[in-house]
Structure formats: structure tokens, C-alpha cells
């Protein structure tokens, strides 16, 4: 092949791949086709809730949607009483392919319905009322849908048949044809609809939106670097990480002026030579526990309480966690209490933690015998086993995604991180967990 055709072929291939890459990101056409078929099949069975779900999915494909699909979705909205959604989908169909029937249907909606935005409080949900329901079944369904939304969320934004309505302490009249939404702002709902002049009572909704267990298991990594500088034991009662029968006084020293003739190992005999620089005893500290060298298993149990109703729903969470580090025989037990927020299917937590690390390992901090004369250095520095504990407070947080529904619970994948500090060193780690959390009760529109 000559150079020119090769170049041209290469250019074509690059262009094609670039186009495909761009298209793949912009529109999942295969998925769109599949969903279109499903929508048509569901519509033939009058399975309108199914049509709604698939229509929501097809919108996510970011593909241009055929007029026929928009019209089916408009029929679905009609059958479910979602009048504003019906108007929107007719408009979308009209934008693709303008027909007199679609224009007539839109005009019919504009002639009989008005746009309303009832702004309420999700915690105080007053019923939407109308004295007499319309004769036309589609108008009736429209009102019933709005009533369902208000009951589930406290608010409604959509279209209602013309007429007079009441919600909480507000009476309003819907008129046809306005392009803007009429806003109806309502205050706290009184439980006694006749007590128009009484102070409204606190909330129609309970204080607790939801409450449920949190249970997770996972794996992660744990690390704790040894303190960078020697920690001098200044008094006999100084805390030492290492305790127990094998711990006899200070195990190491640090000597500011290295003078082999004057260094002493406090484990042996302190020099009494006048002027000799005394070495200072250090407390025992384990060496660094490498983060990625120390995998751990993580078990968390607890519960969460949802306290708010407005999105994103929030509340508090409290858990007890246990981590077992491999490589070392370290265990960490923590208690966590913090704030939790649940936007959509996501779950975020953040808050203080308090814990204890207990167990043992091998090797002390490098500075344990720093400055020691070689003949005095404790040969156990790198090989000595230690046993002990540390405790302190810190911070922990997580980000999770609830993927599966199990009735009142959801299965979640959770990425978490934690940090705590005792008097001398930090303990930190992160990991991935799978577990269950309560499902947030939400009204699905």
C-alpha cells in the first residue's frame, strides 16, 4: 500500500474511533432501542407505572427520543394523572414531529388546567382538598395525583384542573392558560382543619423519619507511624505503650552527645562520672506499622436515625467497630457517633470517634536506642515483641452507595476512613465495606 492511502486510511480510522468515542459518551443508542421496545410492550399491556420507569431510564441514555415514544409516555402520564408531565412530553413530541393532534392535545390541557406550585413543609403535610371532584376522569386523576404528591412530600409542582382548592390554611383558585406557576406557600398545618385561628401544632410527621440498623463487613488497610522523635520518659509514671511483665523501666535511651565512654544503658549502670552526659530514657514505642502492609478485616454494627424530611434527608448514626490487623496481632475497637446525610441512594457520614488499639507486634521505633554505643544497643530493637494498647479520639467518615433494596433496608457499598490519636502517635486507615442500612422512606414520583 502506498503512503497516501495508508495515511488516508489512518485518518479515517482515527476519525471513526473519535466519532464513536464521542457518540458512546453522548448517547447509548443500543440501550435506547431496547428501552423503546420495552416501553411499547408495556404500553400495549397498559402497564403505565412500568412505562414511567422505563421512560425515566431512556432519558438517562441521553439519546434523542422518538416522537412515538414521547407520545406513549404522554399517554402514561395521562393515565396516571401527571398532567404537567403529559404536557411536557407532548411538547417534546411536537418538537420532533409537529402534528395537529398533538397541538390540539396541548391546547386542550392549557384550556382546562393551570400551573400550580404548592410549597409546603415535608414535615407538615396538609391535605390538598377540593369540594367537588370533576366529572372528567382525566381531571379527577390529575387532582388525585396531586393529592398523593402533597401527602407524600408536603409540596406539589404541576398542573391542576381549573377550580378552587384548599391546602392547610390557604384557599386558592386555579385558572387556565398562565405560563407561570402560581405559587402557594403554606405554613404549618394544623391537625384540626376547623381551627383556622389557632396556633398550629408541631408537625404532622413524627420526629423520627426512619430508624434502623447499620451492619457492615469489609476489608481495609491500617497504619500507624512511629513518632518521629524520641519520646523521653520524664517520670516514672509516664505512659508507656508497652506494659506487662516484660517491660522493665525504659527500654531505650537517647543521648544528646554521643560519647561512647559516657553513654550508659539505663538497663545497666548509669555513669556517675561527673560531667558525663546522661542519656535520657525513652518510653517504649512500637515501630511503624506500615499502612499497606497491614490489611485488616472490619466489622461495624450500629444504627442510624433519620431526623429530617426535606431532601437531602439527614440524621445521626452510632456504631461500634472492630478491626483485626493481619501481620501484626493488633485489634482496634472504636465507637463512632456522627452526622449522616442520605442524598438519593448515597450515604455520607462524618463524626468523632474514640477507640483503643490493643495487641502486639514486632520491633520498636528506630530511635529507641538512638545514640547508644553499639555495645550497649539493645539488640531487641528490631526483633523484640511488644504487647500493649493505645487509646484516644479521632475522626471518621464514610461515603456509600446503596445499590440494592431489601424491603425496609438497603444493601450498601461503603468507602470509609478513620483516624485516631493516643498521646504519642496517630492511627489511621481506610477500607471498603459491604453492608445494610435503613432505607429512607421517600415518596416516589
Residues at the interface with other proteins (CB under 8 A):
75, 78, 100-101, 104-105, 107-109, 111-112, 132-138, 140
Q: DSSP string of 23-86?
A: HHHH--HHHHHHHHHHHHHHHHTT-HHHHHHHHHHHHHTTPPPPHHHHHHHHHHHHHHT-HHHH
- Among candidates 302, 305, 330, 317, which has minimal Cα distance to 388? 330
Residue at grid coordinates 481495609: 220
In the bound complex, what is the minimum distance in angstroms from residue 111's beta carbon to other proteins?
5
- Distance in Å, CB of 132 to other proteins, minimum: 6
Give the cell for residue 382: 528490631
Query: 173: which strand partners?
Result: 164
Question: Considering the complex, what minimum distance in angstroms separates the CB of residue 72 from other proteins?
Answer: 10
- Which C-beta is closer to other proteins: that of 137 or that of 249? 137
Q: Are strands 113-119 and 182-185 parallel, antiparallel or unpaired?
A: parallel
Please state the closest distance from residue 93 (CB atom) to other proteins, in A: 14
The residue (of 105 and 330) whose beta carbon lies closer to other proteins is 105
Closest by Cα among 294, 435, 417 to 353:
417
Closer to other proteins by Cβ: residue 28 or 75: 75
Q: Which is nearer to other proteins, 113 or 427 (CB)?
A: 113
Q: Residue 55 Cβ, how far from other proteins at the closest point, in Å?
A: 18
Provide the b/e sequence for 30-39 (b: ≥16 CB within 10 Å): eebeebbebb
Name the minimum Å distance from CB 65 to other proteins: 19
Nearer to other proteins, 112 or 251 (CB): 112
How near is the Cβ of 102 to other proteins at its closest, in Å? 10
- Residue 104 DSSP SS3: helix
What angle separates helix 67-80 from helix 48-60, to the nearest 10 degrees? 140
Q: How far is the CB of 100 from other proteins (least distance, A)?
A: 8
If the CB atoms of residues 173 and 385 are measured against other proteins, the closer one turns out to be 173
Nearer CB in complex with other proteins: 78/409 = 78
Q: At its nearest, how many Å lie between other proteins and the CB of residue 140?
A: 7
Q: Which of 285, 295, 298 has the alpha carbon at shortest distance from 327?
A: 295
- In the structure grid, which three cell numbers stand for residue 311, read together? 431532601
Residue 105 or 167: the one with the smaller Cβ distance to other proteins is 105
Beta bridge partners of 320: 301, 335
Grid coordinates of 150 = 402533597
Cell of 149: 404528591
**Cβ atoms of 72 and 85 closer than 8 Å:** no
HSE-up of residue 321 (Cα within 13 Å, Cβ side) = 34
DSSP 192: S
Which is closer to other proteins, CB of 104 or CB of 405?
104
Give the alpha-carbon dihedral of 69, 74, 79, 84, to 10 degrees: 150
Please state the closest distance from residue 66 (CB atom) to other proteins, in A.
Answer: 17
| CB of 130 or CB of 233, closer to other proteins | 130
Amino acid at each position: 500500500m502506498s503512503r497516501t492511502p495508508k495515511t488516508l486510511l489512518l485518518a479515517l480510522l482515527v476519525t471513526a474511533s473519535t466519532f464513536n468515542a464521542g457518540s458512546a459518551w453522548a448517547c447509548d443508542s443500543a440501550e435506547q432501542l431496547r428501552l423503546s421496545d420495552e416501553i411499547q410492550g408495556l404500553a400495549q399491556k397498559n402497564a403505565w407505572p412500568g412505562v414511567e420507569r422505563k421512560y425515566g431510564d431512556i432519558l438517562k441514555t441521553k439519546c434523542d427520543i422518538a416522537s412515538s415514544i414521547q407520545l406513549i409516555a404522554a399517554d402514561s402520564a395521562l393515565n396516571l394523572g401527571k398532567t404537567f408531565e403529559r404536557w411536557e412530553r407532548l411538547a417534546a413530541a411536537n418538537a420532533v414531529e409537529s402534528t395537529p393532534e398533538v397541538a390540539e392535545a396541548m391546547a386542550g390541557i392549557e384550556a382546562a388546567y393551570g400551573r400550580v406550585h404548592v410549597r409546603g413543609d415535608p414535615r407538615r403535610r396538609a391535605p390538598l382538598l377540593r369540594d367537588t371532584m370533576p366529572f372528567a376522569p382525566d381531571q379527577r386523576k390529575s387532582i388525585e395525583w396531586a393529592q398523593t404528591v402533597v401527602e407524600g412530600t408536603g409540596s406539589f409542582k404541576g398542573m391542576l384542573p381549573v377550580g378552587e382548592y384548599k391546602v392547610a390554611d390557604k384557599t386558592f383558585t386555579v385558572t387556565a392558560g398562565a405560563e407561570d406557576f402560581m405559587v402557594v406557600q403554606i405554613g404549618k398545618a394544623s391537625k384540626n382543619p376547623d381551627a383556622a385561628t389557632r396556633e398550629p401544632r408541631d408537625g404532622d410527621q413524627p420526629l423520627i423519619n426512619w430508624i434502623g440498623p447499620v451492619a457492615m463487613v469489609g476489608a481495609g488497610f491500617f497504619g500507624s507511624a512511629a513518632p518521629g522523635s524520641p519520646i523521653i520518659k520524664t517520670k516514672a509514671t509516664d505512659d508507656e505503650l508497652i506494659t506487662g511483665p516484660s517491660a522493665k523501666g525504659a527500654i531505650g535511651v537517647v543521648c544528646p552527645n554521643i560519647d561512647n565512654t559516657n553513654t550508659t544503658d539505663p538497663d545497666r549502670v548509669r555513669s556517675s562520672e561527673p560531667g558525663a552526659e546522661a542519656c535520657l530514657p525513652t518510653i517504649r514505642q512500637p515501630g511503624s506499622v506500615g499502612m499497606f502492609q497491614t490489611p485488616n478485616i472490619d466489622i461495624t454494627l450500629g444504627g442510624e436515625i433519620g431526623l429530617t424530611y426535606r431532601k437531602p434527608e439527614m440524621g445521626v448514626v452510632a456504631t461500634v467497630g472492630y478491626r483485626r490487623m493481619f501481620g501484626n496481632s493488633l485489634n482496634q475497637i472504636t465507637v463512632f457517633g456522627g452526622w449522616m446525610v442520605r442524598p438519593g441512594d448515597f450515604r455520607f457520614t462524618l463524626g468523632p470517634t474514640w477507640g483503643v488499639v490493643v495487641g502486639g507486634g514486632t520491633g520498636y521505633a528506630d530511635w529507641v536506642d538512638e545514640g547508644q554505643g553499639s555495645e550497649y544497643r539493645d539488640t531487641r530493637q528490631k526483633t523484640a515483641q511488644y504487647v500493649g494498647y493505645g487509646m484516644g479520639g479521632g475522626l471518621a467518615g464514610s461515603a456509600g452507595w446503596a445499590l440494592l433494596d431489601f424491603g425496609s433496608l438497603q444493601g450498601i457499598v461503603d468507602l470509609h476512613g478513620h483516624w485516631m490519636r493516643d498521646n504519642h502517635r496517630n492511627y489511621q486507615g481506610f477500607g471498603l465495606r459491604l453492608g445494610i442500612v435503613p432505607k429512607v422512606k421517600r415518596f416516589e414520583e
